[in-house]
Amino acid sequence: MAPIGDFVAAFFVIGLFSFIYRDNIWYKFAEYTFVGVGMGVTITVAYWNVLNQTIGPIVNNAAYIFVPALILGFLTLFRVSRNYGWISRSSLAVMFATTMAIRVMVTIQSQVVQQILPAIRAPIINTDPITGISNLFAATGLAAACYYFVFTRVDMPRTIQRPSDWFAKYGQYVIMAYLGASYANVMTGRVSMFIERILFLCRTFGIV
C-alpha cells in the first residue's frame, strides 16, 4: 500500500488535471494550496537566508559590506505602503540593474562566446567523415545565422539576387530548424512530465 503522502499528492494531481474538463472548485483548491505552500516555503527560505547570510555575518564577523544590501532589502518592504511605496523604487532599481548586468554578462559568456569558440575550434579535417561534416555544418550554420541577423534588412527584396543572399537564406533555415528543435525539445519534456504523473497515479492506486 502506498504511503499516505502519495495519496495526498494524487489528490492534488487529479485536482489539477480536472481543469482539462472545466474549471471547478477542486482545481481551485489544488491551485490555491500549491500557491500558498510555495509562497510559505519561499518566505521561510528568504527569512533564514537573510538571517544567516546577511545579519549573521554583520553581527558575528563585522562584515559591514552586507549593510547596504540589508538596507536596500529593508526598503523594498515599503512597497506594500500606499503612501511610502516610492521609497522602494531605489532598491528595486538597484536590484533590477544588478540582476540585468549579471544576466547579460552570463548570457553573453555562456550562449555567445561558449557557442562560437567550439564552432571555430572544431576540427573539420583530420577526423572521421561524420564528425567533420557535423562540425562543418555547425560552423557554417553559425556564420550564416549571424550573417542573416546582421546584414539582412526588412526592406530587402525577397528574391535571391546575390551569392550572399543564398548564405542569408541558409542562415534563415538554420534558425528555423533550431527553433523547431527547441520547441520539440520543450514539448517532449512536458509530455514526459505528464506521462510521469500518470504513472505515479497508476502506481499509487495499484493499477500497475
- Domain-embedded: residue 188: yes
Residues spanned by the domain of 190: 123-208
- Domain-embedded: residue 74: no
Candidate from 13-27, 71-85, 121-135 with smallest mean pLDDT:
121-135
- Domain-embedded: residue 50: no
Grid cell for residue 127: 577526423
Residue-wise pLDDT for 8-23, tens only, equals 999 999 999 999 888 9
For residue 154, is pLDDT > 70? no
- Domain-embedded: residue 194: yes
> How many percent of the chain have pLDDT more than 90?
36
Contact 92, 73 (CB under 8 A): no
Contact 204, 7 (CB under 8 A): yes
Mean pLDDT of the chain: 86
**For residues 33-57, average pLDDT:** 91
- Domain-embedded: residue 127: yes
- Domain-embedded: residue 8: no
* pLDDT for res 153: 62
Q: How many domains does the chain divide into?
A: 1
- Domain-embedded: residue 14: no
* pLDDT for res 116: 78
- Domain-embedded: residue 193: yes
Residue-wise pLDDT for 158-177, tens only, equals 555 666 778 888 988 999 99
